[in-house]
Structure formats: structure tokens, C-alpha cells
Structure 1
Amino acid sequence: MTDHSTPKWLYPRPDLPPVLSPEEADVTVNLWLLPKFSMLTLYCLLEPLRVANRFGRSLFAWRLFSNDGGPVTASNGVTVDIDAALGRAPIFDNLFIVASYEAEATVASSQWAVLRQVAAHGGLLAALETGAFILARAGLLDGFEVALHWESAPAFVEEFPDLTLSDARYRFDRQRLTGGGGAASLDLMMAFIEREHGANLVAALSRQLVHSRLDPRIEVNAGREVGSEYHPRSVRRAEAIMEANLAQPLMIPDICRRVGQSQRQLNRLFQRYRGETAKGRYLSLRLDRARQILADSRTSVTQAALAVGFAQPAHFSRVYRERFGESPRTTAQRGRGLS
């Protein structure tokens, strides 16, 4: 007599080939790799699919696409072989955009057409890290909530102010799946597998991968440095005020009053824990934000300068060059693949 209380996905099947062809699998996951993509993100997307195939019938296959069908080199210098050029094989059910640095630099009109084709057929469009910029540019995130890497959030908000940005590690919103990439991609793919085959399989996968799933509503650590929680409270509060007022910078004495410290004492603490004065730290935060905006979006140099409180572009360019060793225009051109 069968024990129906036994979980359906209890033991892996060692005899089942973990890598299947699209003809053998129930679901084929299509991944479009952009140059300089994150290898960690790709591994976190593929490994749950491979392991899932050990728990029962033939579940998942995957295909890797590039712009031209040639190999793609990740940001760590490792080159990955590709199955086909995007657009060469029909895709209707799902497409995952795996991007990181300079995401839009190599995208052509034929690739935009594929995205719209998937959307028109009601397929799932997923975007990891800066892949959200590509979907947003195509107008395919209108009305959807978007999650992406915290470092890219300022540029995304600057360029797409009408879209709703989530603080979650990933966001599954109807036929759109977006996430910050990296290790969070493992949970994102678990959510995809759960939608396809249920929670029991995902529970078995988690045990097999020795992984504890995190609630996607847990906010991304917005750039906080390791150990920063041990910095003095006044330094942390001052930085929070600075980050909330990048477009319209406050005077340092005003910040001192808000945190209840004299300017001399606050400068002493910043010098000790940050290696620069409070004023210098404020300038660094503004310039770092400008660099993120220029590198990740099509925002002009003047717009980026205004976004971080510089009314004079010439002054902005001078201090930007002093900090990064290049002009803001050079940063912007490299982000668009024009350098």
C-alpha cells in the first residue's frame, strides 16, 4: 500500500542525466547573456535547474543565447559557449536577461524585437542586475514593480522615474521577474521553479543545495560597508542625511545640528572612521552617485551633475576627474559602449 504521506520529491535519482536537451524537458529556460555578465548570477540560475532534474521526470533544459551566436565573456574573464544567436530560434515562453556591466552597449534592434515577441505571447521576461534597464528601455516594465542591484538603483530612478522600484532582493510581478543578481539569483530561480512545479520540489532542492531560502521582501543591503554598523551613531546618521540630500546638498553645520555633534567633533570622527572630513565624505558620496548614474544609464553629463547638486557642469567635471581620473563624459561613453 502506497504511503501518500511521503513527500513527492524526497530522493534524487542518480540514474537521470542532469543535463537535458529541449526536446527531452518539460520546460526550457532561455538565457540571454550580455558581455561582461556576472558568472555568479549564471551559476545561481543554472544549478537549481540541473539539480531539479534529479528529482523525478525530465523537468528542465536550458539554452544560452548571445547577440551574434558567438561565445560571451563574463566579467571575471571566463568565456562561455553559446547555443545560438538571440532571434535565430523562436522564443515564446520565457527569456532571462543576464547582464551586469554596460548592459545596453551591444543591444541591437533585432534583440528588442525578440523581447517584444515574448511579451506579446504572454511569456515570462526576467531581468537580472542591469537587465532591467533593457526591459525598461523597451517599455516592457510599465506597470510592473522592479527589483535590481542597489548600485544601479540611482541611475534607474533617474532615467525611469515613472517606474516603481522595489527594495526586495527579487520581485515576481505577474509575467515579469526582476532581481539584483548575484547570490539572490538562487532564490529567484527557486521562485521560478516553484511556479512551474510546486513548493515540494523547491524544499527538496533547498536540502540538496544546502541552502536556506530568504524572504524576497528582505531589503537589499544598500551599499553599507561591512562593519559599518560598528561606526559611531553620529557618523551613520550623518551619512544617512547626506545620502538623502544628494540633489540639494545641505551645509555641514546643518548636518551637525541634526546629529547633535559639533563640526569639529564630527570631522574628527569622519577622519578616524572614513579617512576624510565630513565635507569630503559628502562630496565623495555625491560623485559616487553621479558615476553610477553615468555608467548605468543614458543620462547626460549635465543631468547627472544636477542629480547630485552641481549647478555648474565645469565644476562638476573638474572634481569628478580629480576623484576618478577621467572625465564624466568618458564614463558615460564607456557605459554606452562608445569608447
Structure 2
Amino acid sequence: MHDTSKKRDFSSAMRSSNSCYLSAGVAPDKPVKVGFVLLEHFSMMAFTAAVDALVTTNLVRTAPLFEHIILGVDSRKVLSDLGIEIATNTTLEHFTIEHRGNIDILIVCGGFRCDLNENPQLTETLKAADKLGLTLGGIWNGSVAIAHAGLLDQQRCAAHPDNHAYIREQFPRVEVADTALVITERCVTCAGPVSALEMMLTLIRKQYGGDIVRAIREILSCDQVAESGGKMKLQAGDDPTHPENLRSLMQLMNNNIEEPLTLEELTAHVGVSRRQMERLFQTHLETSPSRYYLELRITHARRLLLQTNETITNVALASGFVSTSHFSNCYKDYFGMSPSAARQKQHS
């Protein structure tokens, strides 16, 4: 009889691919709240990259970890660099001290054509936020607004290269970094869309740890094109720094899910011994070959189960399980519910 109290945890190599389908454990007392101040002509791409990181964080956990609000400087609608207006939740004029106290992070989103002159209302808001101990952030040239508030004196900051000369001329006590991202204890700044995503991932890691960031990267960075040959990283664990033998073994497993190869067949194909294969997986993936293979197959099954209308029997067979009962038991061990219950939950 199957032990229903048994619970399996995914190894680190496959945990990220399945994190949004696993129990989140203890939920935080309250989500971290992020406020985005949009300047006129802000970079839509940079802004959405930052927000996407927060939304995806909530997707990979069953309990919401972040909330965000959008602030206009003096208008409830702000024009982006694409000519698309974004509605805001409120304006700085109505963003009172009481509201600021409910915010944990306040980020100013700039863009290529943003006005770099000081806005007194924004300066006052940033100073008040700093006194309350909020983490401040600047995207593109959002760091200029923070500098106007005197909150970057004797500190490094990142900004779009087009604004470096202006910052050095106007704020001699601010050090402009040549890097696209600068993280200090109370302030985070970046130069554009790609670094905006990295900036948010850094903040997420600081709040909730590295596991959740790996899960977010699994979703948002799967189509990252390598410089050599344009090949895309499309599967978990496809790390170019791994030894070639290990990558070959992982690829063989990935290509033979419906009819799994034996460990002896795997070693024969790649030309390594059983001991060498076990050492490769343990050293680089912190798991065994057989466990990795099972988790790869159960992940494949989870995708088919939740994304197709195939019967559970067909899903089991397509994932290399010899019987529906064995598949159901393994699925419940990892995901805490039966395949039928998981499918029902997906459609509820």
C-alpha cells in the first residue's frame, strides 16, 4: 500500500520549474509593497520589466509576496515613451505620510526623454520616504530625482549613459558608476530595461532568498539567446558551465521521457562509468541521476496534465510511467495532490 504521508521535495535542479505548483510554506505577515513613480515619457519597457518581476514572484508562490501601486507626479495618467498612457493609482499630492508608511520600496521610473529638472513635489516625497526608512530606487534616469533630493551625496548610482555628463555636472558629490546597476544599503539604481529586471531580482532575493529568484528566471529568462549561434536556453539545468558529459546525459534524459533509458544505457551512450555519472550529478546538481530523471519526467507530466486535455492514463504513458497508479502516487508525493485533483484545481 502506498504511504500517503510520504512527501518528496524536488532537488535544486528541478525545483524552480515546479515552484508555482508547490506549497509556499509559511506566508509572510504582509506583502512587500512597492510604489512606482512614473515620470512623463518614462520607459515602458523598463517599467514593465520591473513590474513583471513582482507579478511573476506572486505567480511562483501560492501566497502573494508583493503588491505595487503606480503614482503620477501631478496627473492620474502618465504618457510613456511609446505614446501609451498609463493610469495611476494616485498622485504625489495625495500620497500622504500615512500612505508612505504603507510603502516599503519607492522607485522613480525615468526614460530617454524625461525632464531632468527638479520637481519640488517629487523631492519632498523622496525626502519624506527616506526619513521613514523606505528603500529608494531609480530606473533609467530616475536616479536624477533622488540626487535632486540630496539623497545620493557621497554615493554611487547608475543611470542611462546619456545622462552621465548631466549628473556629473549638476551633482558633483554623486559618483556615477560605469555599471548598469548599483545596489547600496538604502538605494538601488539602474540604467535601463535589462538592468531594471536585474535590480528587481536583487530586491526580491534580499526579501525572500535565492530559490524564488531562480524560479522567476526559469520563467522570464528561458528565451535568453546565447551569443554563440543564437541557441536559446529552453530547459531547466541547461547551464553552459556544466561539463559536456553531464549536459549530454541531461539531454539524453530529456529526449527519452516517454521510453526512459536505463542508467546503463545512459552511461554507454555518453561513454562514462556509472560511478562517474553519479559523481557528475551529485557535484553539479546535488542529486542522483535516477532522481533527476524521475523529476524531469514528473515535471513533463505536470505540464501535459495542466496544459492538455489528454487522459491521465495517456499523460502517464507519455511521461514514462508504466501504470496510472504509479504515476498518481509519484505525482501526489511531489505536488501534494492527485493528478485528477490538480487538473480540477487548474480549471476551478
TM bucket (normalised to shorter chain) is 0.5 to 0.7
Change (3 A) 1:45 1:80: same
Change (3 A) 1:211 1:140: farther
The 5-angstrom pairing of residues 1-339 of structure 1 reads 1-3=6-8, 6-7=11-12, 10-13=17-20, 26-56=31-61, 57-89=63-95, 90-92=99-101, 93-100=104-111, 101-105=113-117, 108-211=119-222
C-alpha distance in 2, partners of 1:2/1:179? 42
Tell me, yes or no, if the aligned pair for 2:122 and 2:145 is still in contact at 8 Å.
no
Tell me, yes or no, if the aligned pair for 1:87 and 1:111 is still in contact at 8 Å.
no
1:51 deviates by 1.1
Tell me, yes or no, if the aligned pair for 1:9 and 1:201 is still in contact at 8 Å.
yes
> Is the partner of 1:168 in helix, strand or coil?
coil
**Which one has more relative contact order, counting CA pairs under 8 Å at least 6 apart?**
2
> Is the partner of 1:183 in helix, strand or coil?
helix
Change (3 A) 1:14 1:63: farther
Change (3 A) 1:39 1:25: farther
1:36 deviates by 0.5
Tell me, yes or no, if the aligned pair for 1:206 and 1:212 is still in contact at 8 Å.
no
C-alpha distance in 2, partners of 1:212/1:131? 28
- Out of 83-92 and 58-67, give the one that drifted further: 83-92
Identify the structure with the greater helix proportion.
Answer: 2
Cα deviation digits, residues 224-267 of structure 1 (max 9, x gap):
xxxxxxxxxxxxxxxxxxxxxxxxxxxxxxxxxxxxxxxxxxxx
Query: TM-score with structure 2 length normalisation?
Result: 0.54
Tell me, yes or no, if the aligned pair for 1:69 and 1:83 is still in contact at 8 Å.
no
1:74 deviates by 0.5
Structure 2: any 5+ residue segments left out of the alignment?
1-5, 24-28, 225-348
Tell me, yes or no, if the aligned pair for 1:65 and 1:83 is still in contact at 8 Å.
yes
C-alpha distance in 2, partners of 1:81/1:99? 16
1:5 deviates by 6.0
For 1:11, the aligned partner's letter is N
Query: TM-score with structure 1 length normalisation?
Result: 0.56
The CA RMSD measured in Å over matched residues stands at: 2.6
C-alpha distance in 1, partners of 2:16/2:133? 29
- 2:241 is aligned to none
1:135 deviates by 0.8
C-alpha distance in 2, partners of 1:45/1:209? 12
1:117 deviates by 1.0
1:103 deviates by 3.2
C-alpha distance in 2, partners of 1:135/1:94? 13
Structure 1: any 5+ residue segments left out of the alignment?
17-23, 214-339
